[in-house]
Amino acid sequence: MQHAPVQDGKDTEGDIVIRIRGLENGFGKQVVHEDLDLDVRRGEILGVVGGSGTGKSVLMRTILGLQQQRAGTIEVLGQDIASIDAAQTKDIRRRCGVLFQDGALFTSLTVAENIQVPMREFFDLPPALMDEISGFKVSMAGLPADAGPKFPSQLSGGMKKRAGLARALALDPQILFLDEPTSGLDPISAAGFDELIKVLKETLGLTVFLITHDLDTLHAICDRVAVLADKHVIKVGTIPELLTFDHPWVREYFSGPRGRAALSQNSGQTKTMEPA
Amino acid sequence: MTETATLAVTEEGGGRLVRAAGKLTIAHLAGIAAARSALVPDGRKLTIDLTDVERLDTSGAWIIHTLKRDFEAAGAETHIVGCTSDTERLINEVAANDTSMKVREPRARKLNHRIYLRLVRIGEAAFHVAHGFGGFLAFLGQTLLVLGGTLIGRRQLRWNAVIHQMEAVGVNALGIVGLLSFLVGLVLAQQGEVQLAQFGADVFVVNLIGRSTARELGILLTAIMVAGRSSSAFAAQIGSMKLNEEIDAMTTIGMSPSEVLVVPRLIAMVLMMLLLGFYGVVMAILGGGLFCWVQLSMPPVTFFHRLQEVTPVSDLVIGLIKAPIFGLIIAVMGCFQGMQVTGNAESVGERTTRAVVESIFLVIVLDAFFAVFFSALGYN
């Protein structure tokens, strides 16, 4: 075996998984996105940041086809999502895993059954095997050993999120969409969450579209960060690039007290790790 | 590229060699899982060769890991060869999560004595009925307390909500209640006429329509329709608010859910049932009148004149006494079931159904009670 095991062979730098051009979105008279361009490269973790109400979630929903854009094209895995038929859409959906903000678990199913929903939908697997797989996915998402048979109403907010992640990962998707995965988690859990996503990205070659407000997450795992402001993506780049980028919101975001704290903490970590 | 995954077993030296090939992903999992269960530890060495693996995901890694785990547990020496560092990391990550996770609740110990099981069921059902009824009475009492507080002015009455509910419960129901009552009046007259004609007493069809609709049918049918429309709506509205923690938010802000949600609905429903009940009676009589006019050639003037002669006012009064009480039961049952929603979306559906079924049940039981009561008072 000569290559990373999971990436369909080709892994050229700059291989684009999601390509958005000239996107326009809005509700009634309110315009959310205008002339928005964005590329997501294969195998990267792209952080999407922006103030409240800048349309981060709307952008994610549009890429997923949950919302119709007014204008512009979106290509996911090389296919224009507006012009493909139902079978192709289903195929793309199978390759995408989504974690919604509050987990969006099916409330009438247990956690384990929630994780098995995509498996049942797409494959014909023996129940015992699905139990095995959902068992280790539950553990992978960091849920306690007795979480499998519980119903979502019996879980805390953070646990719902983890269960949602386990469901999103059920089919080992190529693209993982995460909508504020670490919000509402305690800092230790959030760090664990970051670590898990990083390991999965490195071992499975996942591409991650990550909406977050969490500066620690940005520093810890994001390869690039896209900043949404003024109805479009004003800048995509690594954090050092963004630190020098001159825009009032970006400056405020990264250089505010929280931004500085996250930065110093992160650089402290890298320094201590360097000698080793 | 192959579109399958295989685990090929060959004998090699003192042990066995498992050559994994293709895409070890969830899409091809059923096959390799079957191949895994065909491999039974026999104490000999096992080597797993991953050189020909094109793709490996967590599910595939799980199969490889469990194969190794089971053989090692059986005391066989097991090696994984030919994997890249990433593959190894993935397998290790999966292995680290191989803890004894509970996937479903163990089945309760089966007591398969049928009589015992039947008794348990009857007992549970009886308990649920008693518990539910007790809860309903408690809710009714609490609501009446709040209502009393509102009426003597110690609590605020939300007029906006009352007016809004009156529109939803009453005005919007005019069409359906009117149409159905009209049709029932018509059918009642027609069926009555067929029977009464056998005695040559078809003129008594007016008595039949007047007395039965004013006292029983008009009110009862209206109550059943309103229960179907509004009791369910109340349960669903309040239930989804409960799921969404809106009720909790209200409480913490210092608003009483009884005062904000229940009392306005109750007042609107009581007033509207009174009016809708009267309206239903009128429509049923009009339906019967139309039939008499068309089929029996009885002109409307004669019809109404006769109606006045044979229908005592007490019939209408009895009907209109019952209507608001039915309204009270319907509103309280809808709100009560809404407040009982817990947990998930399914619970909203279940409670909505119960709101309708139980409010109709109570309405009919109460109606029977009223029939006996007013007869005993001498109103025949």
Asked if the Cβ–Cβ distance from A8 to B55 is below 8 Å, we say: yes
B83 in contact with chain A, both atoms CB, cutoff 8 A:
yes
Which of B36, B58, B69, B341 is the mutation pick for testing A, counting most A CBs within 10 A? B58
Residue A124: what residue type?
A: D
Please indicate whether, in this complex, the C-beta atoms of A136 and B25 are within 8 angstroms of each other.
Answer: no
Residue B239 in contact with partner chain A when CB distance is under 8 A: no
**Any chain A CB within 8 A of the CB of B81?**
no
pLDDT at residue number A14: 55
A146/chain B closest Cα distance in angstroms: 5
Task: Assess whether pLDDT exceeds 50 at residue B115.
Answer: yes
Q: Is the pLDDT of residue A48 over 80?
A: yes
Shortest distance, CA B249 to any CA of chain A (angstroms): 17
| Cβ contacts of A131 on chain B, cutoff 8 Å | 103-104
Contact assignment for A138 to B103 by CB distance below 8 Å: yes
A120 versus B324: the higher-pLDDT residue is: B324
Mean pLDDT score, B220-226: 94
Tell me what the pLDDT averaged over chain B comes to.
88
When CB atoms are compared, the residue of B50, B57, B105 closest to A1 is: B50
> Which residue type does B9 have?
V
What DSSP designation does B110 have? Answer: P
Confidence of residue B280 (pLDDT cuts 50, 70, 90): very high
Closest chain B C-alpha to A169 CA, distance in angstroms = 9
Residue A55: Cβ-neighbour burial (10 angstroms; 0-12, 13-18, 19+): buried
Asked if the C-beta of B3 comes within 8 angstroms of chain A's C-beta atoms, the answer is no
Testing the interface with B: which of A129, A176, A197, A206 to mutate, by most B Cβ within 10 A? A129
Q: Tell me the pLDDT tens digit for each residue of B62-74.
A: 888 888 888 888 8
CA dihedral B174, B176, B181, B187 (to 10 degrees): 150
Rounded alpha-carbon distances, angstroms, from residue B279 to A164, B66, B80, B226: 53, 73, 83, 13
Is the pLDDT higher at B261 or at B117?
A: B261
In this structure, of A178-192, B100-114, B145-159, B280-294, the range with the lowest mean pLDDT score is B100-114
In tens, the pLDDT along B150-165 reads 888 888 888 899 999 9
**Do the chains contact at B55 and A204, CB–CB below 8 Å?**
no
Q: What is the pLDDT of residue B108?
A: 64
Highest averaged pLDDT of the listed ranges A203-217, B73-87, B203-217, B279-293: B279-293
Q: Which of B57, B99, B343 shows the shortest C-beta gap to A153?
A: B343
For residue B86, what is the nearest residue in chain A, using CA coordinates? Answer: A203
Q: How confident is the model at residue B173 (pLDDT cuts 50, 70, 90)?
A: very high
Closest partner residue to B103 (CB to CB) among A3, A107, A134 is: A134
Average pLDDT over residues B54-58: 83
Q: Which of A174-183, B90-99, B246-255 has the lowest mean pLDDT?
A: B90-99
Packing angle, helices B313-339 and B232-243, rounded to 10: 20
**Does B57 contact chain A (CB < 8 Å)?**
yes
The alpha carbon of residue B54 is apart from the nearest alpha carbon of chain A, in Å, by 6
Cβ-Cβ contacts under 8 Å, B50 against chain A:
1
Of B55, B62, B82, the CB nearest to A136: B62
pLDDT of residue A4: 39
Q: What's the pLDDT at A274? A: 39
> Which residue from B316, B353, B314 is spatially nearest to B333, judged by alpha carbons?
B353
CB contact residues (below 8 A), chain B span 104-163, against chain A: 104-105
The amino acid at residue A190 is A
Window from A66-80, A222-236, B70-84, B120-134 with minimum mean pLDDT? B70-84
Highest mean predicted confidence (pLDDT) among A215-224, B95-104, B266-275, B336-345: B266-275
| pLDDT given for residue B227 in this prediction | 94
pLDDT for position B338: 94
Q: Is the pLDDT of residue A165 over 60?
A: yes
User: Residue A12: its pLDDT value, please?
Assistant: 46
* Amino acid letter, residue A226: A
| Residue B87, pLDDT above cutoff 90 | no
- Cα-based distances in Å from A86 to A82, A89, A90: 11, 5, 6
Output the pLDDT for position B188: 93
Q: Which of B59, B88, B242 has the most A C-beta neighbours within 10 Å, making it the best mutation to test the interface with A?
A: B59
| pTM assigned to the model | 0.70
**Full strand arrangement of the beta sheet holding A79-80:** A30-41, A16-27, A71-76, A79-80
B90 with A124: Cβ contact below 8 A:
no
Whether B58 shows a pLDDT value over 50: the answer reads yes
Question: Closest-CA residue in chain B for A138?
Answer: B101
User: Would you list which residues of chain A are within 8 Å, Cβ to Cβ, of chain B?
Assistant: 1, 3-6, 8-9, 107-108, 110, 112, 119, 122-126, 129, 131-140, 145-149, 151-153, 169, 171-172, 199-200, 202-204
**Residue B342: pLDDT band with limits 50, 70, 90:** confident
Confidence (pLDDT) at B3: 67
Contact B215, B315 (CB under 8 A): yes
The shortest CB-CB distance from A151 to any of B54, B62, B343 is to: B343
Instruction: For B321-353, give one letter per residue: b (16+ CB within 10 A) or e.
Output: ebbbbbbbbbbbbbbbbbbbbeebeebbebbbe
Interface test with A, best of B4, B26, B29, B87 (most A CBs within 10 A): B26
Average pLDDT over residues A69-73: 86
- The answer to whether the CB atoms of A107 and B344 lie below 8 A apart is yes
pLDDT at A43 over 60: yes
pLDDT of residue B274: 95
B352 vs B357: CA distance, rounded Å: 9
Q: Which residue has the higher pLDDT, A255 or A175?
A: A175
Mean pLDDT of chain A: 81
pLDDT given at position B301 = 93
Q: What pLDDT is recorded for position A5? A: 39
Tell me whether residues A153 and B30 touch, CB distance under 8 A: no
SS3 A228: strand
- Give exposure, B168-206, as e/b (b: 16+ Cβ within 10 Å): bbbeebeeebbebbbebbbebbeebbeebeeeeebebbb
**B25 shares contact with chain A (CB less than 8 Å):** yes
Residue B65 Cα, gap to closest chain A Cα (Å): 11
Q: Does B30 sit within 8 Å of A140, measured CB to CB?
A: no
